[in-house]
Structures are given as structure tokens and as C-alpha cells.
Structure 1
Amino acid sequence: MKKGVLLVNLGSPDSTNPKDVKRYLDEFLMDPRVIDVPRWARILIVRGIILNTRPKKSAEAYQKIWWEEGSPLIVLSERLQEKVQEKTTLPIGLAMRYGSRSLKKGLQQLVDQDVDEVLVIPLYPQFAMATTETINVKVEELRNAFFPQLKISSFPAFYNKPEYIDVLSKSIEEHIKNLDYEHLLFSYHGVPERHIRKSDITNSHCKIDGSCCITPSKAHEYCYRHQCFETTRLVAEKLGLKENSYSVSFQSRLGFDPWLKPYTDRTIERMGKAGIKKLAVVTPAFVSDCLETLEEIAMEGEEIFHETGGEEFTTIPCLNDRDDFAQLLAGWIDKWRIVDVDKAIA
């Protein structure tokens, strides 16, 4: 069998035009693993409320961070794909879960190269229902409908793999080693608390009570909250960060249901009011800089920090197309070329 790889990221609107943003948000927010309520309720919330108010505001936010080449997330993903392709002989495809660069197109491009076995790599270090799971479910739907001949495997979450922690830690260290900062904030994308409980394969472990994430359990294989805290712990250990010099928060909440806490915006505000003058923020749930890192953190976060008394606010870039990150992915891919996916990441 001829093997190929499909890198998958979130996606982006085709442009900053409100119509394109609205089309993108409709596909994204109508995903039952993103807003996990009955379809009638999702239609009411998304098409009855959100899409009548949010596209214009989101379009303005995209305009602030848009590059000449296009969406930063798309451009950076393409650069990463090119670098990984240079480091391996297997065909490397790229697709987005949402938007015009679809999963179907990505799979078809590999099939057109006579590939009949595909490794799907969700570009998310931590597993979440609204990221990794929705990619895997959609890929399986497409396989059944259009590519029944394909053998497809999915790359597991790599949040705690030593080689990933090495690359992430090196990236952070390069940006803070000459930085006179007082606190390092690890800001992860938030999810509703109910997503954590729905992903609990034991149906009993995840209580989000401050102790379950550090108590060994099979549930951790699919627990986004645990995986975020574990990534932070491992990086802090690798970098020798002192206790109380770093913390974890969660950003980008939507709606009124309880999401993972503490919230990033309120954390930044609290730190400014507490007298912290120099704050650095890293966003390890993202491998590519995007709206959530370039606008929500680097712009809105900095504004909040300055308004509450903070002075120096530093945003640490995502891994993007770093050579060592591309080499890490290529190494895993080459191992998969000769063994199965579980052994490739072991």
C-alpha cells in the first residue's frame, strides 16, 4: 500500500468579508461537537442569534491580523506542510476542518497521488471533542461516502510526548531567556465543562474539582483539561520554572454555560490589578498563530493588562513552521511509514 499523510488544522474564512466570515462561522458553529445541543437548538442559537450579530465583529477582528498572503493560520500551515514535505518521502497533504480547504479535497489530493493508506494528523497537541474528535468523525464519514478503498489511521494527542515537550520548551525558552518577566501564563483554548464530562470514558472520573486531573485514570487519554495541565507541568519541569512564577488559564469562551476556568481575560485583569508589571503569555493549545493568539491575546489581552496597571506584555509565538517542529512531525511520519501509528509515537 502507498502511504500518505494529511495534516489538519482548524480552518479560516476565505477573506475578511463579513459574508465569508458568516459562511465559515456557520459551518464551524453548526458542528454538533462544537455546540453540542440538539440540532433545533443549535439552529436557533447559531442561525437565529450568533450569525445575525457576530460576523461583522469577527470580520473586523480578522482584518486586524490578516496578512497580504491571506489568513495567518492557513499561510503558516502551508509553510509547515512544505517543510515537513522536504523532510520525508511520503506525500504530505493539508486540509482544514472548516472552510474551503476541506477534508474531502485533502483526501482527494492524496488519492490522486495513488495513496491508499492515510495517516491523519490533527494539529492539536491536546485531544478535545471540538477539535480532534470532530476531525476523526468527519474523516470517517468521508471515507465511508467517497473513499471506501482508503485505510485511515489517526495520530493520537501528543501533549506529553518528550520530543514535543522539548520543542515547545525550546521555543518558549528562546523568547523568555532575555525577557525580564514576572509571570508566565499558559493560556489554552477553553471548552465547556460538559465537554470534559462527555469525553470521560469512565463516566465517573472527571469532576473538574481540582484533584481529578492529577489522579491517574484512563479518562486522561481523552481529557482536555488534564492534558493542558500536564503539558504545562512538563514544560515547567523542563524549563525549571519556579512555583508561582507560572499559571494556567483558558480563553475564547462562548455563551453562558460554565467553561473551563480560570478565564484568561479575567486572569490577565487580575494580574494587572495585583501589581504584576511584566507578563508573558504562551498558547500551547495552538500550533499555528491565528485569530485567538494574534488578536484575542496579543491585542485584547495586552489592552486589558495595560488598562489594569500592567506595563510590559509579551506574547510568545506558536510553533508555527519552526524547523524543529517540522522535523519532529517528519520523524513521527517516517516511523509510521515502517510501523503502526501507536509505535510511531511511543
Structure 2
Amino acid sequence: MKGVLLLNLGSPDSPTPKDVKPYLDEFLMDERVIDVNKVLRNILVRGIILQTRPKKSAEAYSKIWWEEGSPLIVISERFTEKLKKHTSMPVALGMRYGSMTIKNAMQELKDKGVDDVMIVPLYPHYAMSSFETVVVKAMDVQKEFFPNMKLTTLPAFYKNPDYIKVLSESISEALEGFDYDHILFSYHGIPERHIKKSDPTKYHCKIDGSCCFTNSVAHHTCYRHQVYDTTELVKAELGLIEEKVSSSFQSRLAGDPWLKPYTDYEFERFPKEGKKKLAVITPAFVSDCLETLEEIAMEGKEQFLEAGGTDYIHIPCLNDRDSWVELMAKWVNNWERTGTLPHS
């Protein structure tokens, strides 16, 4: 029997340092998030970061926490419930980090008789620290606890024409009536070395401004290429003016070169160039979360306005938008009928 396993990042159980600390420990000790040797990672995470970060992160989570719980979890659950109404297959939701474990989600499917699972990483783009880590974790859990369960993974869908259409429609609706000077596509940042580590050719990815636009097999696992592709495809779909659109990268750790340009630097730069009415979209995420609701919708707005901007909107993620649910249902139901997956 076939079933669907939706996978996302996860969240602390509450916006308190007590619950944030073990969540951050699990997250930051992941070798695909902080990819240094285990001894150094242990010193960095448990000896330094976790001494101060839980309190700061808890304060940030408190700003965006909903009455029902973590926005990421609540939105993911709403999406799951809507998807269930569009398919006859059992659907379960699991998180890479936190108490909503992948193991529990797989057990839920097994208890319903499922032995053939379509894994759906809820990330449009491939990256070590998002797409790859949830897939590897699911495979490890399957191997250890569910050896008779077959897994099939939905590929990164960053340039799927149907996805681009749904994403573009959501952006168009949000921009209605907003006389913007610029639209910024802000993607989650990753260390530059992750790009090179994910390059199967070991020579193509140079992060030199041209490699992302030179065809290569490396693009199948190149986050930088894929996010720029998403921006270009949405720009073409909506007929956006070249000079009014750009991409940037948010969230980074000090001490390492991360993908540039940095979103917060762009917030400072735009008003000086006369771009005082800004719309920001965060397409690395399909569900609004701490990185979109606090870092972009709140902190980003404040920074932009303090730098001299006058108008600012954060365009919501796809969340549980009906057209997004229907597209996912199309993909999973086609897999159930034919065993085939959508093209990226």
C-alpha cells in the first residue's frame, strides 16, 4: 500500500530557552548543517553557541509564536490535512528536528498498512542542510526501524513549471496595489563550501558569477544555481522588469564565507539608491517560519525603514494555499497511479 510522508525542518515545542536549547542542539550538531569534524562541532555548538543562543532564539520565537503553536508546525499540519482531502493515500507529517520525529511519522504510515512511501521534502531547492539532511535521515530511520518499507523521494521542484506558476500567482496577488521600486528574492543562506561539497564533478562550482549559468550536471545539487533559476523563471512568468528584481541570501554564521549578497546589506543599500518601496519574497521556504516571520517580516522591515525606506511588504510563503495543496495532490496522485515523479 502506498502513502505519503511530508518532511520539513521542525521547531521547538515552545518559545522558551528550555525547549529551544535541545532543538538547537539537535539542529546544529547535524553534520550537514555545521559540517566540521565532530569534536570541533561539539566545542563550537555546545561550548560556545548554546551558551547564549537559546535565550536569543527563544525571544525571537516568542515574537512570532501563534496561539496554536509554532507557525511552521501549524502551517505544515494545515497543509497535511488539506492534502489528505485530495488523495486516497495515507499522509503523515514528520520533522527533521524536534519532537515530531520522522520515525513517528513512518510508524503512523506503517500502522495504516503502508509499505511504499513517497517522501516529500518540503524544500523547493537542493541543499545539504535542508533537502539532503531530511532525505538521509528518512533513509537511516527506514533502514533501522522499517526495513520492509520502500522509499521514493520527490526531487527538488525549484523550476517545475506548475510550481513556478503557483508561486508566481501568489506573488502577483500580494503585489496587487503595491507600487514597488524593487522586489527582493531572499533565500536562506548556506556556506560557500556547501556548494562545492555538493558538486559531483568537483570542479564546476566556482561561485564566480558564471558557473551557475553554464550548463552542468552539478546543477542538480547546486543550491545557488537553483535559487537563481527560480528567480529568473518567476521574473519571466510575471514579466517583471530586470532592474527591479534581485536575489540575496539571509541567515549566516560569523567566521565563514556564506553566499552573497547578504539580505541585510541589501536592506541598507536599496534606500540609498532610491529604492524606497520594497517587496520581499522568501521562496526557499514553502511555509512561513522564524526565518521569514521574524527575520524578514519584522527585523527586515525595521532595518529597511531605518535605512530610509518608506514602504515594505513581506510576501507570505505558499503555506496552505489551495493551489499549492492541489499541485502537491497532483504530484502524489500521479505517483500513486503511474509510479512516476514530476520533472524538476
Provide TM-score, normalisation by structure 1.
0.98
Which residue does 1:308 correspond to in 2?
307
CA-CA distance at 1:254 after TM superposition? 1.4
Q: Deviations over 1:115-146 (max 9, x none)?
A: 00011100000010001111111111111110
CA-CA distance at 1:25 after TM superposition? 0.2
2:58 match: secondary structure: helix
1:250 match: secondary structure: strand
Q: Deviations over 1:291-317 (max 9, x none)?
A: 000000011101111111001110000
Which residue does 2:140 correspond to in 1?
141
CA-CA distance at 1:273 after TM superposition? 2.4
Which residue does 1:193 correspond to in 2?
192
Give the 4+ runs in structure 1 shifted more than 4 A. none
2: CA distance, partners of 1:79 / 1:341: 26
Instruction: State the one-letter code of the partner of 1:69.
Output: E
Alignment size in residue pairs = 344
Q: Which runs of 5+ in 1 are unaligned?
A: none
1:244 match: secondary structure: helix
Instruction: State the one-letter code of the partner of 2:107.
Output: Q
2:47 match: secondary structure: coil
Instruction: State the one-letter code of the partner of 2:13.
Output: D
Instruction: State the one-letter code of the partner of 1:224.
Output: Y
2: CA distance, partners of 1:223 / 1:290: 23
2: CA distance, partners of 1:11 / 1:345: 27
The sequence identity of aligned pairs, in percent, is: 61
- The residue correspondences of 1:1-346 to structure 2 (distance < 5 A) are 2-342=1-341, 344-345=342-343
Q: Contact 1:155/1:341 (CA < 8 Å) preserved in 2?
A: no
Q: Deviations over 1:47-96 (max 9, x none)?
A: 00000010000000000000000000000000000111101111111011
2: CA distance, partners of 1:90 / 1:145: 24
Q: Contact 1:11/1:73 (CA < 8 Å) preserved in 2?
A: yes
* Alpha-carbon spacing, 1:228–1:271, altered in 2? closer, same or farther (3 Å): same
Query: CA RMSD of the aligned region, Å?
Result: 0.8
CA-CA distance at 1:276 after TM superposition? 1.6
Q: Which runs of 5+ in 2 are unaligned?
A: none
CA-CA distance at 1:275 after TM superposition? 2.4
Provide TM-score, normalisation by structure 2.
0.99
1: CA distance, partners of 2:343 / 2:193: 29
2: CA distance, partners of 1:295 / 1:138: 28
CA-CA distance at 1:243 after TM superposition? 1.2
2: CA distance, partners of 1:157 / 1:289: 19
Q: Contact 1:153/1:341 (CA < 8 Å) preserved in 2?
A: no
1:200 match: secondary structure: coil
Q: Deviations over 1:174-221 (max 9, x none)?
A: 011211111000000000000000000111100000000000000000
1: CA distance, partners of 2:106 / 2:201: 33
Q: Contact 2:191/2:259 (CA < 8 Å) preserved in 1?
A: yes
Q: Deviations over 1:240-291 (max 9, x none)?
A: 0011101000001113100000000001111122222100000000000000
2: CA distance, partners of 1:219 / 1:244: 28
Q: Contact 2:32/2:133 (CA < 8 Å) preserved in 1?
A: yes
1: CA distance, partners of 2:142 / 2:174: 42
